[in-house]
């Protein structure tokens, strides 16, 4: 199911199901658990009291009981991490996190997807890399809850340097009034899907046309960029046109 765009513009990204330690009932938004939100939006959902989730990237502080030292974090492993390594992703690089979203309304006191609302790919958060943890011995105590810090699940991956956790910089390098990680609210500035098109057809500024984007290098079409049907990393270098695009997202 899509993640909800709440009536106030909050982009509430729903983590994927997993066998990790945190359940949908453990995390909450405005006094309502994610389990309750999911069941309200989709009464037929198979998510239940015994359903656990992969809380990653973990960017929103208020949804879970945190240590005072808590920082946002994002983990990668396996082929996804290999893709990042192959492109020499390192400190200072910027992750933009996108997902499948749909607008919601309150109706009779319940949250519902807005009738005929389009399915959209939306950028909901960001993290500029300040530190990369690649060894289990370097995981601080406050991060031990994180799914990618689970030694039982990732012991071999840690040993083979095929698991990593990315911690944000204190401030954005190109806008030092903003934290190195954060969340966006819904607007056209952070909507990837071209208006009137299916969600995997993205619109970028015309000045960005033709830049090399990994995962689907032949994605540029006449009036949109065709992302992969299922794709996780879309990596591209920052040039002046990309910088202008980023500034338009962050200026508000």
pLDDT in tens, 110-140: 999 999 999 999 999 999 999 999 999 999 9
The pTM of this model reads 0.96
| Range list of H helices, the chain | 34-41, 78-86, 151-159, 240-250
Range of the domain at 85: 3-250
User: Count H helices, E strands: the chain?
Assistant: 4, 16
Could you identify the residue written with the tokens 């370097």? Answer: 138
The total number of structural domains that make up the chain:
1
pLDDT at 230: 74
pLDDT at 232: 78
Closest residue by Cα to residue 213 from 249, 239, 179: 239
pLDDT in tens, 55-103: 999 999 999 999 999 999 999 999 999 999 999 999 999 999 999 999 9
- CA atoms of 179 and 89, how far apart (whole Å): 20
Q: What is the dihedral of CA 37, 41, 44, 49, to 10 degrees?
A: 0
pLDDT at 35: 98
Quote the percentage of the chain above a pLDDT of 90.
94
Q: Which residues of 160-174 are buried (b: 16+ CB within 10 A; e: fewer)?
A: eebbbbbbbbeebee
**Sequence-ordered list of residues with C-beta below 8 angstroms from that of 244, at least 6 positions apart, any chain:** 205, 207
pLDDT in tens, 204-219: 999 999 999 987 778 9
Q: What share of the chain is helix, strand, coil (3-state, %, to 5)?
A: 20, 30, 45
């Amino acid at each position: 199911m899509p993640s909800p765009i709440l009536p106030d513009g909050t982009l509430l990204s729903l983590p994927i199901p997993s066998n990790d330690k945190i359940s949908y009932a453990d995390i909450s938004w405005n006094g309502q658990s994610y389990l309750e939100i999911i069941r309200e939006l989709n009464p037929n959902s198979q998510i239940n009291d015994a359903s656990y989730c992969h809380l990653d990237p973990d960017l929103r502080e208020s949804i879970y009981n945190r240590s005072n030292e808590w920082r946002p974090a994002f983990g990668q492993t396996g082929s996804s991490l290999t893709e990042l390594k192959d492109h020499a992703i390192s400190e200072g690089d910027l992750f933009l996190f996108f997902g499948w979203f749909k607008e919601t309304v309150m109706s009779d006191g319940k949250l519902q997807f807005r009738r005929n609302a389009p399915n959209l790919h939306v950028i909901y958060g960001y993290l500029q890399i300040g530190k990369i943890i690649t060894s289990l011995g370097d995981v601080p105590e406050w991060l031990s809850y994180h799914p990618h810090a689970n030694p039982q699940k990732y012991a071999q991956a840690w040993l083979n340097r095929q698991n990593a956790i990315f911690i944000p910089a204190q401030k954005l390098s190109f806008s030092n009034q903003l934290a190195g990680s954060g969340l966006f609210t819904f607007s056209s500035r952070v909507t990837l899907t071209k208006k009137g098109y299916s969600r995997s057809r993205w619109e970028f500024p015309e000045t960005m046309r033709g830049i090399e984007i990994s995962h689907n290098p032949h994605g540029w079409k006449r009036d949109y960029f065709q992302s992969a049907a299922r794709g996780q990393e879309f990596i591209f270098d920052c040039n002046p046109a990309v910088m202008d695009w980023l500034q338009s997202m962050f200026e508000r």
